[in-house]
Structures are given as structure tokens and as C-alpha cells.
């Protein structure tokens, strides 16, 4: 059975609040964010959402980034205590090069929501990652955020670019 939120009932009064709750939330980066010489995860300042307790969400998005091959970029999600879920990405793998005739290695694994994954970088080349996830919030509401850092500390900045985005749709 398909899940949807909210459930509209015959004779129910439709309010702006009720209709708004049925819409997806979208967070788009309005400025580039650079991080250098750090492997400590931090929430992206633009890609965050408030989520409700005992709710289920689907997530999708696109992250445009630059990461030199030495530091790469590691990505994960921060969610309220007691939250569960899985996420999947299609991102550059370990053999990616700037030569288009060689091609790309693609990483497609899936893992627990708060477990990090490394997206590989290429000198002088911007890359993108497509993300899909399911978030099941426990009894604590709070903030859901994309977190990222360099995989190996480097003075060469890793950047997540303007117009990267995440969309969150409550389904239960």
C-alpha cells in the first residue's frame, strides 16, 4: 500500500497548514561552502530540515562538489536521536580521472543513514552525487542535515557548491 501524508478525509476542513504539510520541503545551497584542513563532520549550513517525531520521510537530492584526490569528501546525515533509515548515492568512485576517454568509476553502495561514505575527487574537476534516502524519525523531533568533511585533512579546500539541493517529503 502506498504511503502518503497527510491523509485527507471526506468532509475534512482544508487549511493552509494542512495543505502545506503535504508539500515537499526543498533546501538549496545559496552559496558555496569550503572546508580545508578538517576531517571533522559538520552540517552543511544550507542543507538542513526540521523533522517531526514519529514521521517517515523520503529524501532525494543532488550534491555538486569539488574535492582534490588527496582529501576527497566524506558525506553522511545527522538525524534526531532514535532515527533510522538508509541512504544510497551515485557518486564518483576511486578510479575516476579527468580524462573523459578513460571514464568514471561509480560508487553505488547503500548504508545506514548516519554512516559516512567517501565520494572521490579529481584535481581541477567538479563532480556531482545523486542521493536517495529513507528517514524514519523516532520519538524525538529535531534537525535532519547533510554533514560533510574532507576524508583526509588537506590545505586544498573541498567545496560543496551553490545550487546543490535536497528534497524531503513526509510520507507517514
Indicate which CATH number applies to the domain containing 97: 2.60.120
Q: Range of 115's domain?
A: 21-170
All cell numbers assigned to 51: 523533522
| Domain-embedded: residue 104 | yes
The C-alpha angle 106, 135, 167, rounded to 5 degrees, equals 70
Q: Coil, helix or strand for 19?
A: helix
| Domain-embedded: residue 11 | no
* Confidence at residue 96, expressed as pLDDT on a 0 to 100 scale: 55
The C-alpha atoms of residue 136 and residue 5 are separated, in whole angstroms, by 14
| Domain-embedded: residue 56 | yes
Mean pLDDT of the 88-112 span: 71
Count of H-run helices and E-run strands, the chain: 1, 13
Instruction: Please say if the pLDDT value at position 147 is more than 70.
Output: yes
Looking at 56-70, 99-113, 117-131, which range is the least confident one?
Answer: 99-113
| Domain-embedded: residue 61 | yes
For 24, residues 6+ apart whose C-beta sits below 8 A from its C-beta are: 167, 168, 169
- Whole-model pTM? 0.90
Instruction: Please say if the pLDDT value at position 98 is more than 60.
Output: no
| Domain-embedded: residue 141 | yes
How many structural domains is the chain composed of?
1
Instruction: Please say if the pLDDT value at position 114 is more than 70.
Output: yes
| Domain-embedded: residue 58 | yes
The C-alpha atoms of residue 138 and residue 52 are separated, in whole angstroms, by 9
What letter does residue 16 receive in the DSSP assignment? H
| Domain-embedded: residue 4 | no
Mean pLDDT of the 113-123 span: 88
Amino acid at each position: 500500500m502506498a504511503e502518503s501524508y497527510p491523509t485527507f478525509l471526506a468532509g475534512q476542513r482544508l487549511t493552509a497548514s494542512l495543505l502545506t504539510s503535504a508539500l515537499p520541503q526543498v533546501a538549496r545551497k545559496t552559496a558555496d561552502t569550503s572546508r580545508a584542513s578538517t576531517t571533522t563532520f559538520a552540517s552543511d549550513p544550507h542543507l538542513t530540515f526540521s523533522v517531526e517525531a514519529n514521521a517517515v520521510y523520503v529524501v532525494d537530492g543532488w550534491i555538486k562538489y569539488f574535492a582534490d584526490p588527496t582529501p576527497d569528501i566524506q558525506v553522511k546525515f545527522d538525524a534526531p536521536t532514535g532515527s533510522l533509515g538508509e541512504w544510497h548515492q551515485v557518486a564518483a568512485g576511486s578510479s575516476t580521472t579527468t580524462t573523459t576517454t578513460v571514464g568514471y568509476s561509480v560508487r553505488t553502495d547503500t548504508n545506514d543513514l548516519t554512516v559516512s561514505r567517501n565520494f572521490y575527487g579529481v584535481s581541477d574537476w567538479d563532480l556531482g552525487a545523486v542521493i536517495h534516502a529513507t528517514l524514519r524519525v523516532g520519538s524525538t523531533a529535531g534537525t535532519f542535515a547533510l554533514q560533510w568533511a574532507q576524508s583526509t585533512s588537506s590545505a586544498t579546500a573541498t567545496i560543496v557548491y551553490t545550487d546543490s539541493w535536497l528534497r524531503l517529503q513526509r510520507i507517514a
